[in-house]
Chains A and B, each alone.
Chain A
Amino acid sequence: EAQVTQNPRYLITVTGKKLTVTCSQNMNHEYMSWYRQDPGLGLRQIYYSMNVEVTDKGDVPEGYKVSRKEKRNFPLILESPSPNQTSLYFCASSLGDRENSPLHFGNGTRLTVT
């Protein structure tokens, strides 16, 4: 089944403890992206990647890192999480080679930083 898989679904952590949210897609998509969703703010783009080893900042990249060493994986890294990073995170992917490619989303990771 074609899908974007995020792990974990839920994560509670403490301020400053490094964490990684994994994202994997099995559709051979070139484009992958991370969004965070907060009440009243909609979805805001954190980072995106047009292909392996190519990443770019979105609207809210501060406090996050990403890497794209292989086509299928696009992990989101929080080196030193803070409470304002408590949010619902979504990974998405698309073919990327055409501007009209729809995004396929994972089911989300709900992160709480205390």
Chain B
Amino acid sequence: SQQGEEDPQALSIQEGENATMNCSYKTSINNLQWYRQNSGRGLVHLILIRSNEREKHSGRLRVTLDTSKKSSSLLITASRAADTASYFCATRSRGSTLGRLYFGRGTQLTVWP
């Protein structure tokens, strides 16, 4: 499977701290996306990074991509209790049909007030 794998499975931090989640994947990709899921709800797209990009920022989010290591990280700075959610990476493999998007198992982030 070319499914992405997030690490850690669960992360628990205090408000104000930074949260870092990692994603590893197996095949060459066109892009990597991060999504957020509040408990039992639909996923919400956070940010996309293309294979020729190394770093991207959006508000308190910072995503890095290392294609040589086939890994990405999502950093949430100055976390808030409202950031509590599951975070998933999703990859679209180079050469695959546009329709195939593979999700990892997710990191459950808990931010304590």
A→B interface (CB under 8 Å): 4, 31, 33, 35, 40-45, 48-50, 56, 58-59, 88, 90, 92, 96, 99-100, 102-108, 110
In the complex, what distance in Å separates the CA atom of A107 from the CA atom of B37? Answer: 10
B100 contacts A58, C-beta separation under 8 Å: yes
Contact of A45 with B40 at beta-carbon distance under 8 Å, contacts A40-B105, A100-B50, A104-B45 already known: no
A4 surroundings in chain B (CB, below 8 A)? 42
Partner of B103, one of A43, A102, A106: A43
B31 contacts A90, C-beta separation under 8 Å: no
In the complex, what distance in Å separates the CA atom of A114 from the CA atom of B113? Answer: 40
Of listed A4, A50, A102, residue having the most chain B CB within 10 A: A102
B101 contacts A33, C-beta separation under 8 Å: yes
A56 contacts B42, C-beta separation under 8 Å: no
Digitize B85-113: 1 where CB-to-A-CB distance is under 8 Å, 0 elsewhere.
Answer: 00010101000011111111110000000
In the complex, what distance in Å separates the CA atom of A92 from the CA atom of B44? Answer: 10
In the complex, what distance in Å separates the CA atom of A96 from the CA atom of B41? Answer: 23
A90 contacts B43, C-beta separation under 8 Å: yes
Main secondary structure of the interface of A (DSSP, over half): strand
- How many B residues, CB 8 Å from partner? 27
Given contacts A31-B99, A102-B45, A104-B45, 13 further A-B contacts (CB under 8 A): A41-B105, A42-B3, A42-B105, A43-B43, A45-B102, A50-B98, A56-B97, A92-B42, A96-B99, A99-B31, A102-B48, A107-B41, A108-B42
Nearest residue (CB) in B for A6 is B42
Contact of A90 with B42 at beta-carbon distance under 8 Å, contacts A42-B88, A56-B97, A99-B98 already known: yes
- Closest Cβ of chain B to A64, distance in Å, is 15
In the complex, what distance in Å separates the CA atom of A106 from the CA atom of B42? Answer: 5
B97 surroundings in chain A (CB, below 8 A)? 50, 56
